[in-house]
Amino acid sequence: MKKNLYLLFFLPLWLACKPVDAPLFGVEPKLAYNDEALFSKKTYCTDAACNDPFQEELYLYNASGKLTRINYYSRTAIGKLENLNYTDLIYNASGQLTNKISYHKIYQGTGFEIGSESEFEYKNGVLHSEKMFSNFKYPDRRVATGEITYLFENGKKTSQSSYDMQNKLSYRIGYTYKNDVLTRETYYDPTGKEMRSFEHLFSGNLRQIGEYVASSKEQVALIERRYDDQGRLLTQQTKVSNPLLCAMVPGMIRYSY
């Protein structure tokens, strides 16, 4: 009886969350999905209409189409979007990314000061590692905080390993593709045991990414991406299928070109 009452209580909530005429999703990619298209702005919202964004990112490129700066705007206490951070990206003569430097606005002051940095290294012209640093004051010092190493095959990233500041492996991510489209991301702990995975399903201009933990086959999160006919990413929306999570505020990211 208690179980029946529990189901009756959550049934209206579940029906309210359940999509109407949901499209059928499969494992076969339907488009040349291009998540790396050169968008000029990302807008973060809590509603599908995106009428009141709480954060924006503006992307600037050089004449060669390389990303050179990201300006981050966040909503302040007075309700205004203000530029509080930015990141500069630096390239060598061959067009390879060599440095990424992030700055944050000085508290109760004017101007910006350096925060974190990354240095990129290549082997045989292919990205091999990213070494990360943080800058501190009082006293001024630059501290190594970790490293990420990469493996590529046929131009596609197949593995990414993250190390802490003691150079100990924290976790590794394996990437699986089908028809050159990413279909699965698998996270492993330092012993090689699977921790969680992100599985990609497709339906026309839509792509769903479901998150699963290794200890359970139950989906814990779902992201839906929408693309235009050129395969460019238009929106990314957080969705839920668990009735207990349907009261959560939805997340929406809009991409502008």
pLDDT at 21 over 60: no
pLDDT at 53 over 60: yes
Give the structural domain span for 240: 2-256
Q: How confident is the model at residue 246 (pLDDT cuts 50, 70, 90)?
A: low
Q: How confident is the model at residue 7 (pLDDT cuts 50, 70, 90)?
A: very low
Q: Is the Cβ–Cβ distance between 88 and 71 less than 8 Å?
A: no
pLDDT at 121 over 60: yes
Angstrom CA distances, 224 to 53, 93, 178, stand at 19, 38, 19
Query: What is the count of structural domains for the chain?
Result: 1
As a whole number, mean pLDDT of residues 50-55 equals: 90
Contacts (Cβ under 8 Å, ≥6 apart) of 226: 205, 206, 207, 233, 234, 235, 236, 237
pLDDT at 2 over 50: no
Task: Give the pTM.
Answer: 0.84
Can you give the pLDDT at residue 12?
Answer: 38
CATH number of 101's domain = 2.40.128.720
Q: For residue range 182-237, what is the model confidence (pLDDT) as tens digits? A: 999 999 999 999 999 999 999 999 999 999 999 887 888 899 999 999 999 999 99
Give the pairing of strands 126-136 and 169-178.
unpaired
Can you give the pLDDT at residue 110?
Answer: 79
**3-state SS class at 208:** strand
pLDDT at 256 over 70: yes
Percent of the chain scored above 70 by pLDDT?
87
Quote the mean pLDDT of the chain. 88
pLDDT at 138 over 90: no
Q: How confident is the model at residue 242 (pLDDT cuts 50, 70, 90)?
A: low
Angstrom CA distances, 38 to 168, 223, 224, 238, 255, stand at 35, 21, 20, 22, 10
CA dihedral sign, ordered 148, 100, 231, 20 = positive
DSSP symbol at 251: -
